Amino acid sequence: MKLSVVIAAWNSPVLLNECLLSLLPQLSAVDSEVIVASNFLMGDVLNRFGSFPFVTFLSLRNATVPELRTQGIEKASGDVIALLEDHCRVDQAWASQIRKAQELPYAIIGGSVENPGRQPPLNWAIYLYDYGSYMLPEVPRVAATLTGFNVSYKRTVLAEVRDEYRSGFHETFINEELQRRGYKLFLLPSAIVYHNKTYALGNAIIETYHHGRLFAALRTSTAPLTERAYRAATSLFLPLLLPVRVVLRTIRKNRVKELITAVPYLLLLMSAWSYGEFCGYLCREGASAKEWK
């Protein structure tokens, strides 16, 4: 079984370097390949990473993360295609766990996400709302969702929905389509990646707004105005509902200390997301499609 690892790189060469250093010792050129689809200049990439073995680099200026994923998947030749992003470091057993998982009777398998070490409250807030569903402790199980930067697919399954991601691989909607076709999502907690990014508050709020707006626009891309108006009205309650959901989930995982410091930022970010959803339902995506990071 050949494993293709596709890394969407859009944060910085420094983070990409850390990601590759954690990943490459686990792989062999005989049965693996790594494809980095980045927003970085090709000259800079080759100068910095030219010595990395069996890594193919693609440079796509001004591409969004979903577009980077699509180009990497199109280049991949493996039987299993795993998606990562440059702002993660993989656990030392990650590759072996992905290979082992693909022996299970599931075609879409994702892993867990951890926030390592001491982190500022804003980092915890972003981690808890974005990746808290995949936080340890956890048990192997069929899941409703999987994270987009620690997930693997059998190649044959992705081929079924190729037309759905030609313009950008949005894992939420691709996975929903695969579920409609009868496939189940499986969460394997032992396939661990570590979230490795520091945020600035202003940028985080702006990005969260754009993510919420694009999510809403894609969710209702073919919906009539009446449905969009209804969803816009219900989105007014999200600034209360979303933090409650995160709080309850985090308490169950016994991360109360981290949660307490993160609450003020959670409220800000959830308000930005909610406003983004409201705008997306009523006014479509606007410029948010190019801000999906």
Give residue-wise pLDDT tens across range 35-72. 999 998 877 777 778 778 889 999 898 899 999 999 99
Omega before 189 within 30 of 0, i.e. cis: no
Report the topology of domain 3-117+136-195: Spore Coat Polysaccharide Biosynthesis Protein SpsA; Chain A (3.90.550)
- Written as six digits, the tokens of 268 are 């800000």
Give residue-wise pLDDT tens across range 63-113. 999 999 999 999 999 999 999 999 999 999 999 999 999 889 999 999 999
What is the DSSP code string of the chain?
--EEEEEEE-S-HHHHHHHHHHHGGG--TTTEEEEEEESS-HHHHHHHHTTSTTEEEEE-TT--HHHHHHHHHHH--SSEEEEEETTEEE-TTHHHHHHHHTTSS-SEEEEEEE--S---HHHHHHHHHHHGGGPSS---EEES---TTSEEEEHHHHHHTGGGSTT---HHHHHHHHHHTT--EEEEEEEEEEE-----HHHHHHHHHHHHHHHHHHHTTT--HHHHHHHHHHGGGHHHHHHHHHHHHHHHTT-HHHHHHHHHHHHHHHHHHHHHHHHHHHH--TTGGGG--
What is the DSSP code string of 141-183?
EEES---TTSEEEEHHHHHHTGGGSTT---HHHHHHHHHHTT-
Burial class (CB in 10 A: 0-12, 13-18, 19+), 273: buried
pTM of the full structure: 0.95
What is the domain partition of the chain in residue ranges?
3-117+136-195, 201-291
**pLDDT attached to residue 248:** 97
Q: Give the number of other Cβ atoms within 10 Å of residue 284's Cβ.
A: 17
Alpha-carbon span 223 to 246, nearest angstrom:
28
Residues of the chain with pLDDT under 50: none
**pLDDT attached to residue 235:** 97
One-letter amino acid for residue 264 of the chain = P
**pLDDT attached to residue 263:** 96
